[in-house]
Structure 1
């Protein structure tokens, strides 16, 4: 879409990370397949929301053929942008679900599980994306097909440090991922 990653990209990458390697405590069980993740954000200064609006305006300003191409690529990945909330589809492989791991979305992120129970996880993450992002999140699993999470992401938005609250709901859509690539691949 754009040559460099936007603050929106960093938020989407950080926002879709759920957990890392399974530890000795059994963690939540999740279904493999296609997940729809709805994210809402609230920043201290409103700049993250402004960056989302700018990304939308950028796409709208593209020549029709290029805009159509960008919108098709986004639709294939299940990405829908909103001012304060966005939706992204994510694919979890059967192997990752069986191992109790959910890989991170961006390969340039690391994450640690701070706490894990049968129904929740607390994770800490750090991404060397441009701009960089780091934070913590708590993920509560209502079932193998639904979760909610809340987290804090520290990043740079429009050239200034910003702390963004991210709330998510995730729901399993089905076993087949279609054109959506598995996370971490």
Structure 2
């Protein structure tokens, strides 16, 4: 039981980091998108080993006492995260303020120490990045289809415990509302 949850603990932060990097890629040219609440749906391509660990973790979550599971699900929902541990699919809600959109800066997670190289080619944004916390590098392409929608493909390589793992993530982002509700705005790099 512990082993599956521990394996899951390494991929969930990696997926969250990828989500913020994807959001950052898409929002880097913020004058082309609307500020407000965005939904990002991520679908990772997991290795068979990772899929098995995630499915086992999903089963363990289902076996938790109802009160403990509900508390965990509420905590994730408050942060705008909905994850299916069996498949690795994740839906993340992020808030972009009008000020962030006007600044045209890259919103990033406060976790990790990441450096980005962004290049804009028409409706596409190319993002190459490297992070030290967690140790992660990769590149992605985001295609803006409108001020309210984008799609993105990202490939990452993570290193932890002497192991290297490659993860590919496809995502779609869509604007939901000008009001972020209870979702806190993303942190913006300075």
Tell me the TM-score normalized by structure 2. Answer: 0.80
User: What corresponds to 1:101 in structure 2?
Assistant: 105
- CA, structure 1 residues 29+137, in 2 after alignment: closer, same or farther (shift >3 Å)? same
Q: Report the Cα distance in structure 2 between the residues aligned to 1:157 and 1:87, rounded to whole angstroms.
A: 25
2:71 equivalent in structure 1: 69
Higher RCO structure, 1 or 2 (CA under 8 Å, sep 6+) = 1
Match of 1:85 among 76, 89, 101: 89
Partner of 1:180: 183
Residue 56 (structure 1) shift:
2.7
Between structures 1 and 2, the one with greater helix share: 2
How many Å apart are 1:152 and its aligned residue? 0.4
Preserved contact between residue 31 and residue 101 of structure 2 (Cα < 8 Å) = no
CA change 1:64–1:129 in 2 (3 A) is farther
Structure 1: segments with no counterpart, 5+ residues: none
1:40-51 matches, within 5 Å, as 40-43=43-46, 45-51=47-53
Which stretches in structure 2 are left out of the alignment for 5+ residues?
none
- For the Cα contact (< 8 Å) 1:42–1:165, is it kept in 2? yes
TM-score by length of 1: 0.81
